[in-house]
Structure 1
Amino acid sequence: MRRQKATAVLVLGLVATVSAPARAAVDPPAPDRHTPGPRPGPAVAPATIRLPNGFRPEGIAIGPGPVAYFGSMADGSLYRADLRTGRGAIFSRGPGTPSLGMRTDGRGRLFVAGGTGGDARVVDVRTGRVLASYRLATGPAFVNDVIIARGAVWITDSTNPVLYKLPLRGGRLPAAAVRIPLTGDLVYGPGFNANGITPTPDGRGLLVVQSNTGGLFRVDPATGATRRVDLRGESLPEGDGLLLRGRTLFAVQNRRNVVAVLRLNATGTEGRVVRRVGDDRFDVPATVAAFGSRLYLPNARFDAPDPRRTWYNAVAIPEPER
């Protein structure tokens, strides 16, 4: 979620490589009537998903099923793609302000962070209709990433030291958001602060990465009190989207063009960086989501000279070993 030119990085550890999408095979000649012909194999899902020129993707959400949703930093429009074919289209026009982090729930709703718009909205994934909008900040803001955990939607703000909470009692959307000030070890400074967010492995807390310092923090969701996660001397500079799978945390370091793979304890108070994974197709990946055995990352290309004319995509890599 942070807008500067990607820098070359020495990747220590496994470098993930993903083959280009397979081309359709030429139809074989008709088999002899006495010899059974080969059965066609399953289609190979594309490893690159083309997005509209000028779209400026940032956030991604996947599911239910093999469907990915992308948000535009340009005007907030939402793009829906079939992961089996790579084809897609804009299904909800934006309000003219960014769409950043996003998450879907089991009720067909997409929760979208509004960036500099200082808001969040809930969109019906079938129709693209806006079900609810929430004014989160009245002054400068960068409403950034979203997670659904502990019966609520949690949203970070990279400008203001708060979390925004949308309680989902019985699945119902609330009338307004709850503002939870962040206190403790996470101290805001110049640049982008709290960014990606995810639950702790035990589900009792939240984890937030601070982009400008590389710190990872555990947040008490009841009080907003933060505590730095002990990473044994490591940090996550340019930390962006987070994805938790069991006790493994995948942390995108956008301008570093890598995904850090961390192993956490159950409470999320300690962890270690196991490896960092890169790919030649990374061009400032911002966020990450999983489907099957793959991770999908939209390339934000923050330093494109003319974003309105720039091509954009999302790429899939094999999920790194945990």
Structure 2
Amino acid sequence: MPGSVTRRTTAGRPRGTPLLLTAVLGLMATAVSPAAAAEADDVIVLPGARSAEGIALGEGSTFYASDLFRGDVFRGDLEARTAELFIDAPEGAMAAGMAVHHGHGLLFVAGGFTGVVSVYDTRSGATVATVRLTPPSPPDAVPLTTVINEVAVTPDGAWITDSRRAELFFLPIGHDGELGEPRALPLTGPAAKTTDEFNLNGIVATRDGGTLIVAHSAHGALYTVDPETGASAAVEGVSVPTVGGLVLHGRDLWAVQNADRVTQVRLSRDLASGSVVEVITDEDFQTPATATRYDGLLAVVNAKFDTGIPPTADRYEVVLVDD
């Protein structure tokens, strides 16, 4: 991999570089607890969570984080370093990647093995819609038949990955905030080459929605996708093994690698290539899955898949590192 591992400062204090014994394919719920302050300024505990996976930035410093295997959603404040249960999902729900459509106050939550995407009101937590994208994956299916994994919003809708399919799903949003009928976009090119492992994972969109960038976990690669045709092309010069969630700001892209790190990539103007700017590690990372960015910080979710799938850790948290 180009670039070098760099010692970083996490939320203003020196940190070490971790060494995980296992690199897990993380592509990846609770008793109601009061708002809980983090034990340290760089860690926000999700009180009562039994797993974790997705994160999305709301208004200001508000964030939302998901309990993967229970489907619950936490809401917190990155400045206050607090979090509390926001949505108590019904039994059988799952909550993987997430994204907020700020214009209409909608929170999109990928439903993992359930084959659905859930849409919530960011203010009240009320369910706006539960949209079926694929049939659910049977409990004993090996490999899984569907993993609705990550979400990216554009001005006119939400794009969703399925880690078992060579296609993206699009859920349109009207000018009044009404949801349209979902449609599938079959992919061509290198992003369409799937394996029996997890494939398409993280997804982000340029500001105008004219280009999508997807992470392919099995390939350890990034691809651009034309949202009109489904044609894909490799982002040359970048290798990101065990890549999961993505964060995009201008031409800077952060790729969360489930092993133990977040890699910052500077993309070319045409998005056809990239170079590694920095590799961010932290002693608090434990199979990080996804991230969001706020005011010079990355908020990174620890999935802790190194403890098993489903994971068995005592607590789950968001780790804050300088971007």
**TM-score category of the 2 structures, normalised to the smaller one:** 0.7 to 0.9
**1:117 corresponds to 2:114:** yes
Supply the distance in 2 between the matched residues of 1:87 and 1:93 (Cα, whole angstroms): 18
What is the total number of aligned residue pairs between the two structures? 284
Supply the distance in 2 between the matched residues of 1:309 and 1:203 (Cα, whole angstroms): 38
Q: CA deviation at 1:214?
A: 0.7
Equivalent residue, structure 2, for 1:32: none
Q: CA deviation at 1:309?
A: 5.6
Stretch of structure 1 that moved more, 163-172 or 289-298: 163-172
Unaligned runs of 5+ in 1: 1-8, 22-44
Q: Aligned-pair RMSD on alpha carbons?
A: 2.1
Supply the distance in 1 between the matched residues of 2:49 and 2:155 (Cα, whole angstroms): 36
Listed one character per residue, the Cα deviations across residues 163-201 of structure 1 (whole Å, up to 9, x for unaligned) are 010112214232421111111122111211000111247
Unaligned runs of 5+ in 2: 14-39, 137-144
The verdict on how the C-alpha distance between 1:222 and 1:150 changes in structure 2, with shifts beyond 3 A counting, is farther
**1:89 corresponds to 2:81:** no
> 3-state DSSP class of the match of 2:55?
strand
Give the TM-score of the pair, scaled to structure 1: 0.83
The verdict on how the C-alpha distance between 1:212 and 1:314 changes in structure 2, with shifts beyond 3 A counting, is same
Equivalent residue, structure 2, for 1:104: 100
The verdict on how the C-alpha distance between 1:183 and 1:251 changes in structure 2, with shifts beyond 3 A counting, is same
Equivalent residue, structure 2, for 1:169: 174
Supply the distance in 2 between the matched residues of 1:283 and 1:308 (Cα, whole angstroms): 12
Q: CA deviation at 1:150?
A: 4.8
CA contact (8 A) 2:50 2:316 kept: yes
> 3-state DSSP class of the match of 2:175?
helix
Stretch of structure 1 that moved more, 265-274 or 302-311: 302-311
CA contact (8 A) 2:11 2:297 kept: no
- The one-letter code of the counterpart of 1:89 is E
Stretch of structure 1 that moved more, 170-179 or 258-267: 170-179
The verdict on how the C-alpha distance between 1:19 and 1:224 changes in structure 2, with shifts beyond 3 A counting, is closer
Equivalent residue, structure 2, for 1:228: 234
Q: For 1:286-305, what aligned pairs fall within 5 Å after superposition? A: 286-304=289-307
CA contact (8 A) 2:223 2:235 kept: yes
Q: CA deviation at 1:89?
A: 1.5
Equivalent residue, structure 1, for 2:140: none
CA contact (8 A) 1:205 1:267 kept: no
Tell me which structure has the larger Cα radius of gyration: 1
Stretch of structure 1 that moved more, 154-163 or 265-274: 265-274
The verdict on how the C-alpha distance between 1:174 and 1:90 changes in structure 2, with shifts beyond 3 A counting, is same
Supply the distance in 1 between the matched residues of 2:7 and 2:116 (Cα, whole angstroms): 37
What is the aligned-residue identity percentage?
Answer: 36
Q: CA deviation at 1:76?
A: 0.2
Equivalent residue, structure 1, for 2:316: 312
Equivalent residue, structure 1, for 2:73: 78
> 3-state DSSP class of the match of 1:115?
coil
Listed one character per residue, the Cα deviations across residues 118-141 of structure 1 (whole Å, up to 9, x for unaligned) are 000110122211001110001521
Q: CA deviation at 1:67?
A: 0.9
Q: CA deviation at 1:55?
A: 2.5
Q: CA deviation at 1:293?
A: 1.1
- The one-letter code of the counterpart of 2:167 is V
